Amino acid sequence: MAKIKAFKALRPAKDVVQQVAELPYDVLDSNEARNIADGNEISFFHITKPEIDMGADINIYDESVYRAGSDNLSSFIEKGVMVKEDKAALYLYTQVMDGRDQTGLVACVSIDDYLENRIKKHELTREDKELDRTTHLDILNANTGPVFLLFNEKGDKRKLFEEGMKVKPENQFTAEDGIEHIVRKISDESLIKAFVEAFKDEILYIADGHHRAASAVRVGEKRRKENPDFTGEEEFNSFLVVIFPHEQLNILAYNRAVKDLKGLSPDQFLDTLGEKFTVEKTGTKVPCGTREFSMYLENQWYTLKPEFDVPSDPIDGLDVKILQDNLLDPTLGIKDPRKDTRISFIGGIRGTDELEKLVDSGACEVAFSMFPTTIEQLMKVSDVDGIMPPKSTWFEPKLRSGLFVHTLKD
């Protein structure tokens, strides 16, 4: 089912790889990227967030910004900062965080697999974000950041990954955040063919990067219209991904904080919660399992447990959906968490200290520490073509951009 292929990657020269590689464009704002790239002329942010080289008042969606990114990419190539491989290959990309490692296969996948739902989604995309990356990709003529995919590992591909891990690393460095990144190049033709064959009947799932995937497909369809005699083998028919075995991945919680109690006093709020949940002062900051919530209110941690029957539906049974449908909406009036400015979402990597800080400072009145959505839940939702509530998953570590670029013209 899934058609993966080797590609001629554009990669950083070995002596500058650590200086080039950066976090994905969408996990930080322009000012944060500007500060990180300050003094580093070969930071990949000059390509993925080129507004950092322009005035602070620039419209980041102006065409001149995308053109600047294209010029910067060309400059990187001309100066030898980025070098194009002369032969198509696959790669293994290993990340090590807090002693835990995960290794994914870097390849290209067909836009048809996305269009025909062999690459499963679980999030809605926003039109403005999708248009942004579509324009970026189209003008730069390249996938500058990979889409994070996973597959349901049943043990049939472990030997292939083990064989690939025997290859000597070409890149190995520890970033400032303490995460180690290791790249191995798979150039052996027989091993490449074995990987391609092994994935041909596989369903793939998007873990992170829905906007990058949708934008790549948009550009691919646009190029097909512009080239009606396309064969399907042109580079614009595919996009850049890293595919991980599901068993290696770790989803962190995506916590919630709300600015006010919708006019209720803390005691009134607790009484209202007691109609649907058991509410107990426990001091427990992190839920012990699914269908349990830790809540921080007035310098106190509470444990909430539903007193109602939880739906067995793969979407309605998610903790984030239970909280939304039975507390955030009816009690706090958060009807649309995508648009309501009263709710904030805090990635689990920031811990419960951030929740306490928000409430203790008065910025929010209540915060909820969530049990992480599981990989199995993600796959079940995707398998029924379902859409998770916003901010359901936080994957860590993040894939570094700049280690691999897929150009749309060979």
Series of mean pLDDT values for 10-residue runs along the chain (410 residues) = 93 98 93 96 98 92 96 98 98 96 98 97 90 96 97 95 98 96 98 97 95 97 96 96 96 96 98 97 96 97 96 94 97 93 92 96 98 96 93 93 93
Element counts in the chain: helices (H) and strands (E): 13, 21
Structure tokens at 202: 């596989």
- Cα distance between residue 214 and residue 124, in whole Å: 10
Quote the pLDDT of residue 164: 98
Q: How large is the greatest C-alpha to C-alpha distance in the chain, in angstroms?
A: 69
56 neighbors 85 (Cβ within 8 angstroms): no
Structure tokens at 145: 């950041």
CATH architecture of structural domain 254-371: 2-Layer Sandwich (3.30)
Domain layout of the chain by residue ranges: 4-250+396-407, 254-371
Per 3-state DSSP, the chain is made up of helix, strand and coil in percentages (nearest 5) of 35, 25, 40
Quote the pLDDT of residue 338: 84
Quote the pLDDT of residue 1: 67
